[in-house]
Amino acid sequence: LKVGVLISGRGSNLQALIDACADPSFPAEIVLVLSNKADAFGLERARTAGIPASVVSHRDFADKPGFEAAMDSALRSAGVELVCLAGFMRLLTADFVERWRDRLINIHPSLLPSFKGLDTHARAIEAGVKFTGCTVHFVRPAMDEGPIIVQAAVPVLPEDDPHALGDRVLVAEHRCYPLALRLIAEGRARVEGERVVLSQGSL
């Protein structure tokens, strides 16, 4: 399965996907990384791994449809079949999301549907939840909504601050994203009636 990854920053989830794809038996390959920020560290990670990486800056376009059309054509020219959002910090229009329906996934640092949006770890601590985690899901036009593919729960410890909790959740993210990608690439995670049905097989 040919994968494109959209990033805006550090790219640690991109790195987890790169590392998974480095195994010749892994059923997906990253053929393109796009960043809307020229200084995203994830671009270095892609180049180090020998993956084509380019910048499509939202600032270079008069409007969001123009920005998305540029990303869409880069993805299609590279033969991308599945798009992974990995710390991509721009909201996508419904038009773009529908064009990639069920071929566009995202990772979010909470157990959705709790704590959509930003500052998830501070809000989880504030709410007093004892577990939080991460979610990989198919993207729908509404932010942080869509059929859930994989989740992992992570304990919130009494001494946690958002940074410490975020670091613990990130470890789980780096396991969940490659797992979700593998399930999709192997045809074992399919959307049926706005839920993901996972089929049997060894994880």
Question: Of 30, 29, 28, 75, which is closest to residue 185 (Cα–Cα)?
Answer: 28
Per the annotation, the verdict on 163 as an active-site residue is: no
41 vs 190, beta carbon nearer ligand GRF: 41
The answer to whether 36 is a known ligand-binding residue is no
Q: Choose, by CB under 6 A, the member of 1, 173, 181, 189 that binds ligand GRF.
A: 173
The Cα 110–Cα 158 span in angstroms is 18
The torsion defined by the Cα of 115, 42, 157 and 179, in degrees rounded to 10, comes to 80
Q: Does 132 bind ligand GRF (CB under 6 A)?
A: no
Name the minimum Å distance from CB 173 to ligand GRF. Answer: 5
Q: Which residue type does 36 have?
A: N
Q: Choose, by CB under 6 A, the member of 21, 43, 84, 86 that binds ligand GRF.
A: 86
Query: What b/e sequence results for 67-98 when a residue is b if at least 16 CB atoms lie within 10 Å of its CB, and e otherwise?
Result: bbebbbebbeebebbbbbbbbbeeebeeebbe
Structure tokens at 131: 């577990």
Query: H/E element holding 69?
Result: helix 64-77
Q: Does 175 bind ligand GRF (CB under 6 A)?
A: no
Q: Choose, by CB under 6 A, the member of 11, 133, 146, 178 that binds ligand GRF.
A: 11
Q: Does 9 bind ligand GRF (CB under 6 A)?
A: yes
Name the minimum Å distance from CB 200 to ligand GRF. Answer: 28
Query: Which among 44-52, 75-83, 104-112, 180-188 is the span making contact with ligand GRF, rule CB under 6 A?
Result: 104-112
Residues 21, 28 contacting (CB under 8 angstroms) = yes
Q: Is the link from the previous residue into 113 a cis peptide, with omega within 30 of 0?
A: yes
The answer to whether 91 is a known ligand-binding residue is yes
Q: Choose, by CB under 6 A, the member of 33, 51, 107, 148 that binds ligand GRF.
A: 107
Q: Which residues are annotated as a binding site?
A: 11-13, 64, 89-92, 106
Q: Which residues are annotated as a binding site for (6R)-10-formyltetrahydrofolate?
A: 64, 89-92, 106
